[in-house]
Amino acid sequence: MGAGCLKIIYRPLAEYSVRKHRTSIELPLDLWEELKSRVPPRKRTAFIIEAVREKLLRESMKCVILCGGLGIGMSPLTKSIPKAMMPIGYKPIIEHIILRLKRQGLYSFILAVGHLGEHLVKYFGNGEQLGVRIDYAFERVPLGTAGAIRNVEAKLNGRFLVVYGDILFDRLSISDLLRFHEGKRATATMVLAKVDDASRFGLVSIDEEGRVIAFREKPRQAVPGLVNAGIYVFEPEIFDYIPGSGRCSLEEDVIPLLADKGRLYAYIYKGYWTDIGVLEDYERAVKDFFSGLIEDTYF
């Protein structure tokens, strides 16, 4: 054990009688002092157990990144490069996403690729250079956003995250998102972003419990509102709502059905977010990066 660390020997309660093994957890002394100042002694064991549980859940959870679209709104740039590979600063859009999630303890990614997908495979490989694991699911024909998720079902092992490969966000807390999702016992939780101009997006209405109750058409004028941020947490039963074959859209076919069944909740994110759907969005995102609105991502 290095200097400046405190080692805690933790035995789950179920193991006290059989004493099969022990698990060692090392905490930096400054973190231990903060823990002591914030958490009463009688609650510390439960607090540490929950923190370890949450960390293990995050590290085992897989994230599906949807990057198989044709990127028509970004043409002609996307005739030779997938939209998810368009550079923002010094990295492709999708690399920013992966590194932001890695920073929060997610290490297993599945890239759902189609149009020019070989560019992503060549650039990322198995993810080793980024310190993550990357697998791929290929679409021979466009399957739509829900069809792409159905196409990766065999590669999943439980609850999973889905992120669109053409968005940028900065300080979304995955821990808070997962706690919200668990607390609601939802089949699906969608992240909503607050925007000043929702005229390019459909608006989302929620009730006082955070349950999604309605989707409204794109407003004709520039008005603020909550819009789909393209980030979801799904339980495995989501596949009960996705048809077994053919093209299928999350936004048009699956999400409204989940809302009708009362199984869809919304987590409101208040930080930086942008959807890179057209060239104007891309130009703005690049400017935001170089002006410091988007924090650069490192290993």
61-290 classified as CATH 1.10.630.10:
no
Token pair 């930096």: residue: 28
| Structure confidence at residue 1 (pLDDT) | 45
Which of 51-60, 94-103, 190-199 comes out lowest in average pLDDT?
A: 51-60
Phi-psi region of 210 (alpha: psi -120 to 50; beta: other; left: phi over 0): left
Give the pLDDT confidence of 120-146 residue by residue, as tens digits. 999 999 999 999 999 999 998 889 999
In whole angstroms, give the CA distance from residue 132 to residue 137: 17
| Structure confidence at residue 128 (pLDDT) | 94
The ranges assigned to domains in the chain are: 28-58, 61-290
Q: Which residues are catalytic?
A: 218
Give the pLDDT confidence of 189-221 residue by residue, as tens digits. 999 999 988 888 889 999 999 999 998 877 777
Q: Are strands 212-216 and 203-206 parallel, antiparallel or unpaired?
A: antiparallel
| Structure confidence at residue 18 (pLDDT) | 40
Query: What DSSP string describes 121-164?
Result: HHHHTTSGGGTSEEEEEE-SS--HHHHHHHTTGGG--SSEEEEE
Q: How far is CA 185 from CA 179, 208, 239, 262, 267, in A?
A: 10, 16, 17, 11, 13
Give the pLDDT confidence of 251-287 residue by residue, as tens digits. 999 999 999 999 999 999 999 999 988 888 999 999 9
